[in-house]
Structure 1
């Protein structure tokens, strides 16, 4: 069904309605004259014209719509002049448009680029522009590129196809012009947001790194630190440490396309990339002057790439950076290209360049090869004669937590975030997380010229930093909630663990670890373990001796003196019967049968004695067997009917229940002691196997020994559970209470060594700082007189105690550090708002309209910072109360009543 010709609804002359706008909300058809009148302010809309049977594309320019650039005063020019043979191209979200453009040609006219920009059209060149793009388009692409990683080519092809999706060739290819405009737009936006328009020196007076988006939570003197921060006592000075991390990304490579002469960068060290000329001159001067350094740790990829891998087909093999590891933000003048991997000369320059901006007396530096890179850093610094003076700074070098296990054991002790005081829960892996957001740009940037690529990545890093700044309020709030909860959990676990250890050992270890924390270079590391002294042969001998002692005990002691020994014998016999297969030998079957006969004789003797003390026991046993429908039960299936298994309605002397209670209580503690001993033995075996066992035959034998120990662990756990079940039954009758606090329910997740976390912790958190100690190591004393001279046990307890202490301290530090960072963020936003207001009228010599624009922009930026400060202050209003609740829980006091749980959740 088609349209019929009709008159225009708004026309007095009776024009034919045949035009409809595809971008207006109004779907009504209008005549040509009314369409022109309606689109005098929307000259870039797309028209559709009805031609008898269908709609086809129409052009506003052909209907007479023109764009008039006005006077500097904003009035319509009485003397307009057509631009460039009346063929001007404007790029817009709606497509590529050929428009009729009239510019002002009066005596008071301004340059055409200025006229275009006052009309919110961004010119492609500054002299005689023939192409421009709407501000709407430039803002849209600028945001879309940083968020969706779209390239300029893909974006331009999108708007070109939106213009004409039929013709195979674009009659007006403005892609090169769009590249220039997008690059200039990003650069000018960076200068504008950096406040360079408010500085009388302008863009040419921009200092290195001045246009970078700073981290409000990092310590910055004169901006967000208290006036007396330099005089802070040692117990508080660690709060003003600067945390930085180094890393390289070899995905952000650049092919040998163009050069710096043809394609120089617009951002000459103004943001994140270092100034290229000085950087290349430094590399050229010192690349061959550094002495070769030997590898002192494992052969890491970063060092191998630096020494042997030559990437000849690329001009830049990757990008290296130094960034804030607490908040994952790129630092000013801290990014540079790499040529042959992570050479020390590259990383040193970027490190010292970064520390020239907002440096602090104490610096925590993390790097995945810090154990090698930091060893001779001061010597290389003297060779460079770098402006940054390391002698006045205390630098602590550490290795990120995820990378640490790949290093040798000595590095794992000396460069660990978990063991180092004053670092909170920093993991040092923020640099790696930052690369994940930047890597999608590698496809487009590898084909760019050197200057264009640096400008684009500077823009990307700025957008990434700003996104982090915007999210500081919820991010830090979530972290502090977690930190308070974890601190309470790990502090309580540490206190419980300390209580079951000898006081003299705790005092000795406390002194040892405090000395190491004060001076790690001249004191032994309490976290370091010696080589494992337990061997496979020693464990096999210990297991054999345990078996012999148990058999001797069961053979020589009367059964009525040890009521619970029958349980163990029956379980062993049941297990051995299950092992008999169809191909078992006669000797194996005879041995098991003889043991079953011996057990039945002992049980029959026990049943006769039991009938004397517990009348009716035999009848109860018969009833139970009938209910279970067991005919000719095996010896290990006969119910023993100990007091804990007999109903309270049956006549039974209280003294018998009390005897079993005492035996079961001792049995439970013995089972826990054996369980801990076998778990320690298993841990030693795993260490020994990983370090010394090689080859299939040796690994098979080692695995067999470990399986035997694991079998012991399972038996100990089962013995404890049976003893506890009996205690639970007896406690109801005897009125025993309080024992459950020590002898807790033993779940599968509780049966683990001191150094192992739960399955959930291993899968989800996967970190030392989140690991909790199983209650079996915290409920009863784990060191008896027989263990006083056991060096393996003493060392294992010392290391685990130090780790438990470190976990509690790191979470405590994290709470304090987060609270300090929140204070810095609020103060930084206040300082930034004042800075914008102070610069609002910094250029009084400009024209009135320019001064008005500068003032409006400065007040708008100040309002943004004030709003962000208010959002942070409001979101964090209950943080102090939340921390007080955690402290009250640790001290056993009542929490503050001025705050509710719903307030904290909100």
Structure 2
């Protein structure tokens, strides 16, 4: 292969010609300013000379290359010199000559005028704000705006001229047969709209009858049709005319190019009874709207794209139809025949057949793998499934709890996916009933109308949640008030049969029904442990055994069901401390970093479809939600090869960091104290007074936020209700205070990730969407508690960092956003007093947190100064101290935020005396005050920080307790990240094994039974598709699977058996 230099010549249409020599290959050595050394022209490149191939190309675009020297040049010699050098390189047949060919610096400078030469012509050629790999890159790449400005200056007019040229009059002859034609046509759907005669256009469009064409009338291009110039689509004889028929039928076809009328000729042979007209259309890729007398059809391509747009693209069917209508007749939509209903009806049938194909309908059933025949749902491949990605005899007792992580399921309800109480056809049908993500509808309707939810025999720990009560929601005008769903915790994939419709409030019987269906699906090959998180698990858990026994026999779990539950992380703040101690997922083992909030991500996607589904009939609505769930889960599945390695890398970094932090914390603890702590259990336990406690619990102060909230809740009972204060006001105000803290935490996270990775950006977006939904829900309830008041007259704005980095102001509408006079005139003084008491409690908690963490920081500093030596150990200690500082500042913000609200509500004298301004100089430990005191003379005006003199948060052995709590939390954070890496290894292996299982299943289907030829090919394609997923997953994850940062025996043994070197063994070969 000859080796050539690559010279790119571009034309400046407004100034003068510019020439740039572009070199590829090795980076040249740096040259001094006056260097005259020779530069090497690197090989394996291409040459265009101004006198050869590139010159006609420029002239074709309308540019005139100068025959004389460029403007600013010294004559023709420069231009000719460049051509001479390049021509010698092109015509050389000696590779050695080309290899040794060089340019001198002065030669390059002479032929490239400095005033006009492009600094980076490659940028325009690549179309991106960068250069080709291997090319010489600039120190400062051009920004997108600079590239756009360059395009505007140099290329805009040329682009526009080239675009106009597409509409230029034809030359009067056909570009295919080169014969002159009276009438010239062109196809606007083809990539190159060449002028053509009618005969050539028909011949080239036998297989594209839906393409849009135009005819030239001597002045403009007019719309025409292929059927109008003689194109007939022949059916039944592989594109040839039927010898038994000469009748043509008109068929309106919807395609991505719009609606068009085509001429078809059906087969009328003696065997036509075996191929009715609808089937003849299906065979050529048209789905008829009627199976009796088809007059309209849609292409498979349109139906497939529509299916993606209305699920992944979250576009309604009506919007999609408007797009097709616009494409068909821009500016004149009334000219397009209305086929909206036909499109919906056809898509339902198309989707049903598509799901049957993917479910293996019509294939022979496999004895062991087809445990759910005709199953149309997709299940998370990374979650444990007995018989699919693990076998019972593979697990040792030590691996069982790790492999079968029993908090892999999350349940939650959503009231935005409702259905209006509209008239329903008597024969309403659902094509996916009981086969996808909902259980059997009629069976559920019959059971839920007869079963009675048992009364509670045990009062929950926190009684301010209304979930489970029929009074928690009023769905006027709706026959379906919402949906509930189970998802997997790690990836938010929706569980098959795990969705359920609400017909009243969020009753627990709905969660029971969904759990029974999910357990039946997962335990098809044997009994398994199961776990779940639920935002009101503390309520659901009461009487759950008796409720589960009321399920239909086929859904009833065994009486000895191994079940464990927890509260998800984001909802833990809404629960009492006692409840959090007992049920929080953060304090459980073998859960890694699972937060238990999977459905919250799903609802953001489903809610965008709620406008359409609320208008649909019951059957169509269920099919739509099943379809959305399939596409949502499929998108999660195909991106696991990217998401799992990224999560593993992030978890490994966090493990290293938390291990260092914990080792630093452990080093500052005396050995005897450490030995005593290590013997303590982290499981919650019940005290003699009936309250729950654990090593993670913060000490509850007299007058703190939680105690104040409990006292206020007691006041809302029917016998001690406060005048002018509606029931639930204490909970509403407390949620507002907690919401302010959540907003501040989100803002801090956003600032910490000013340049986030894609995964961090997605996480921040999820948090922001969830936060905005909480704010909207809170504000909607504001009018109920703040009755009689309009907009706040003294708003206390909370700033939320938007996705683009801008800040948005939000006022929650708490009493502190109104002046005392306004509250008094509206009769809401009692509500104002309520917020005052809760704000005081928040200030007390914040002060105590400041003092406790100051003590922990002081102890860490003391140990560091006394024992830590060396750069690594010092850096580790500094990291721990930095973490303490962040906690102190966070507590300071909480204090100042609530103190500001107290000031807005009106402080009494006691508040002014107790809750002083908490400044940075007040955040000092006692030890530092004593040291400064001893070093000073004259202490007449010296005093310690007021936080140590305040009686609001007394000093009672806070230092030791703070160290103990922080040590346990540090240890568990480290252990959770270690578990997270183990779980990620498990997920990688299980995903690979699931894909391989489906690969084997589809390969078996292609060879067994009596499939028709098309079924056999389809089965092999599906087998190869899953095989490719398995291979890609393995290659993306293999480095992490062999990483010994954590060890999982089950993983290592499977890799040893099923890999050879760095290759994944083909399971179908065995």
Match of residue 843 from structure 1: 1009
Match of residue 227 from structure 2: 61
- The 2-side partners of 1:97 and 1:128 are apart by 18
- The 2-side partners of 1:524 and 1:715 are apart by 23
1:314, distance to aligned residue in structure 2 (A): 1.1
Kindly tell me: are residues 66 and 720 of structure 1, through their superposed partners in 2, closer, same or farther at Cα, counting changes over 3 Å? closer
Matched ranges for 1:126-137 at <5 A = 126-137=291-302
- The 2-side partners of 1:717 and 1:111 are apart by 83
- The 1-side partners of 2:397 and 2:849 are apart by 52
Q: Is this contact kept in 2: 1:749–1:758, CA < 8 A? A: no
1:401, distance to aligned residue in structure 2 (A): 0.2
Match of residue 1034 from structure 2: 873
Match of residue 23 from structure 1: 189
Q: Does 1:334 align with 2:528?
A: no
Kindly tell me: are residues 265 and 702 of structure 1, through their superposed partners in 2, closer, same or farther at Cα, counting changes over 3 Å? closer
Q: Does 1:221 align with 2:386?
A: yes
Match of residue 160 from structure 1: 325
SS at match of 2:533: strand
Q: Does 1:36 align with 2:202?
A: yes
1:307, distance to aligned residue in structure 2 (A): 1.9
Q: Is this contact kept in 1: 2:648–2:981, CA < 8 A? A: yes
Q: Is this contact kept in 2: 1:361–1:392, CA < 8 A? A: no
Q: Is this contact kept in 1: 2:288–2:296, CA < 8 A? A: yes
1:378, distance to aligned residue in structure 2 (A): 0.4
Q: Does 1:532 align with 2:701?
A: yes
1:464, distance to aligned residue in structure 2 (A): 1.0
Kindly tell me: are residues 128 and 704 of structure 1, through their superposed partners in 2, closer, same or farther at Cα, counting changes over 3 Å? closer
Q: Is this contact kept in 2: 1:750–1:758, CA < 8 A? A: no
- The 1-side partners of 2:179 and 2:665 are apart by 95
SS at match of 2:539: helix
Match of residue 299 from structure 1: 464
Q: Is this contact kept in 2: 1:272–1:333, CA < 8 A? A: yes
- The 1-side partners of 2:509 and 2:838 are apart by 46
Q: Is this contact kept in 2: 1:19–1:31, CA < 8 A? A: yes
Q: Is this contact kept in 1: 2:853–2:888, CA < 8 A? A: no
Deviations 1:375-419 (A, max 9, x none): 111011223355332433321110100100110011111111111
Q: Is this contact kept in 2: 1:208–1:333, CA < 8 A? A: no
- The 2-side partners of 1:857 and 1:510 are apart by 59
Match of residue 532 from structure 2: 365
Kindly tell me: are residues 129 and 518 of structure 1, through their superposed partners in 2, closer, same or farther at Cα, counting changes over 3 Å? farther
Matched ranges for 1:477-496 at <5 A = 477-496=645-664
Given the alignment, which residue of 36, 43, 50 partners 2:216? 50
Deviations 1:824-865 (A, max 9, x none): 111111111110111113332x6xxxx211111111111111
Deviations 1:99-146 (A, max 9, x none): 211100001221111111111111112222221111111111112222
**RMSD of aligned Cα (Å):** 4.3
Given the alignment, which residue of 242, 249, 258 partners 1:95? 258
Q: Is this contact kept in 2: 1:290–1:380, CA < 8 A? A: no
- The 2-side partners of 1:705 and 1:416 are apart by 20
Match of residue 123 from structure 2: none
SS at match of 1:147: coil
Given the alignment, which residue of 559, 565, 582 partners 1:414? 582
1:351, distance to aligned residue in structure 2 (A): 1.3
Kindly tell me: are residues 370 and 865 of structure 1, through their superposed partners in 2, closer, same or farther at Cα, counting changes over 3 Å? same
1:271, distance to aligned residue in structure 2 (A): 0.7
Q: Is this contact kept in 2: 1:328–1:434, CA < 8 A? A: yes
Kindly tell me: are residues 3 and 501 of structure 1, through their superposed partners in 2, closer, same or farther at Cα, counting changes over 3 Å? closer
Q: Is this contact kept in 2: 1:68–1:80, CA < 8 A? A: no
- The 1-side partners of 2:596 and 2:528 are apart by 19
Deviations 1:623-672 (A, max 9, x none): xxxxxxxxxxxxxxxxxxxxxxxxxxxxxxxxxxxxxxxxxxxxxxxxxx
Structure with the greater alpha carbon radius of gyration = 1
Matched ranges for 1:70-109 at <5 A = 70-71=236-237, 76-80=241-245, 82=247, 86-109=249-272
Match of residue 280 from structure 2: 115
Match of residue 756 from structure 1: 887
Kindly tell me: are residues 796 and 92 of structure 1, through their superposed partners in 2, closer, same or farther at Cα, counting changes over 3 Å? same
SS at match of 1:197: coil
- The 2-side partners of 1:122 and 1:703 are apart by 68
Match of residue 150 from structure 1: 315
Q: Does 1:247 align with 2:247?
A: no
Report how many residues are paired.
Answer: 686
Moved more, 744-753 or 341-350: 744-753
1:438, distance to aligned residue in structure 2 (A): 2.2
Q: Is this contact kept in 2: 1:8–1:16, CA < 8 A? A: no
Q: Runs of 5+ in structure 2 lacking a partner?
A: 1-166, 706-832, 895-923, 926-954, 1049-1070
SS at match of 1:322: strand
SS at match of 2:236: coil
Kindly tell me: are residues 295 and 418 of structure 1, through their superposed partners in 2, closer, same or farther at Cα, counting changes over 3 Å? closer
- The 2-side partners of 1:125 and 1:809 are apart by 62
Q: Runs of 5+ in structure 1 lacking a partner?
A: 537-692, 729-735, 764-775, 778-788, 888-906
Q: Is this contact kept in 1: 2:1005–2:1019, CA < 8 A? A: yes
Given the alignment, which residue of 360, 374, 377 partners 1:212? 377
- The 1-side partners of 2:580 and 2:508 are apart by 22
Matched ranges for 1:696-711 at <5 A = none
Q: Does 1:498 align with 2:666?
A: yes
Q: Is this contact kept in 2: 1:378–1:390, CA < 8 A? A: no
Match of residue 286 from structure 1: 451
Given the alignment, which residue of 151, 175, 178 partners 2:343? 178
Q: Is this contact kept in 2: 1:206–1:270, CA < 8 A? A: no
Q: Is this contact kept in 1: 2:853–2:962, CA < 8 A? A: no
- The 2-side partners of 1:362 and 1:339 are apart by 30
Kindly tell me: are residues 12 and 435 of structure 1, through their superposed partners in 2, closer, same or farther at Cα, counting changes over 3 Å? closer
1:152, distance to aligned residue in structure 2 (A): 1.7
SS at match of 1:312: coil
1:715, distance to aligned residue in structure 2 (A): 14
- The 1-side partners of 2:450 and 2:571 are apart by 32
Kindly tell me: are residues 28 and 834 of structure 1, through their superposed partners in 2, closer, same or farther at Cα, counting changes over 3 Å? closer
Matched ranges for 1:386-405 at <5 A = 386=553, 387-405=555-573
Larger helix fraction of residues: 1
Moved more, 407-416 or 164-173: 164-173
Q: Does 1:237 align with 2:401?
A: yes
Kindly tell me: are residues 165 and 706 of structure 1, through their superposed partners in 2, closer, same or farther at Cα, counting changes over 3 Å? closer
Match of residue 1023 from structure 2: 862
Kindly tell me: are residues 745 and 123 of structure 1, through their superposed partners in 2, closer, same or farther at Cα, counting changes over 3 Å? closer
Deviations 1:798-835 (A, max 9, x none): 32222122112211111111112211111111111110
1:177, distance to aligned residue in structure 2 (A): 1.2
1:710, distance to aligned residue in structure 2 (A): 7.5
Q: Does 1:463 align with 2:635?
A: no
Kindly tell me: are residues 448 and 264 of structure 1, through their superposed partners in 2, closer, same or farther at Cα, counting changes over 3 Å? same
- The 1-side partners of 2:852 and 2:462 are apart by 38
- Structure possessing the higher relative contact order (Cα contacts under 8 Å, 6 or more residues apart): 1
SS at match of 2:411: strand
Q: Does 1:316 align with 2:477?
A: no
Deviations 1:569-601 (A, max 9, x none): xxxxxxxxxxxxxxxxxxxxxxxxxxxxxxxxx
- The 1-side partners of 2:294 and 2:270 are apart by 20
- The 1-side partners of 2:967 and 2:494 are apart by 37
Match of residue 381 from structure 1: 548
- The 2-side partners of 1:377 and 1:402 are apart by 23
- The 2-side partners of 1:449 and 1:23 are apart by 37
- The 1-side partners of 2:630 and 2:989 are apart by 23
Q: Is this contact kept in 2: 1:260–1:450, CA < 8 A? A: no
Kindly tell me: are residues 477 and 820 of structure 1, through their superposed partners in 2, closer, same or farther at Cα, counting changes over 3 Å? same
SS at match of 1:16: coil
1:171, distance to aligned residue in structure 2 (A): 5.2
Q: Does 1:453 align with 2:621?
A: yes
SS at match of 1:809: helix
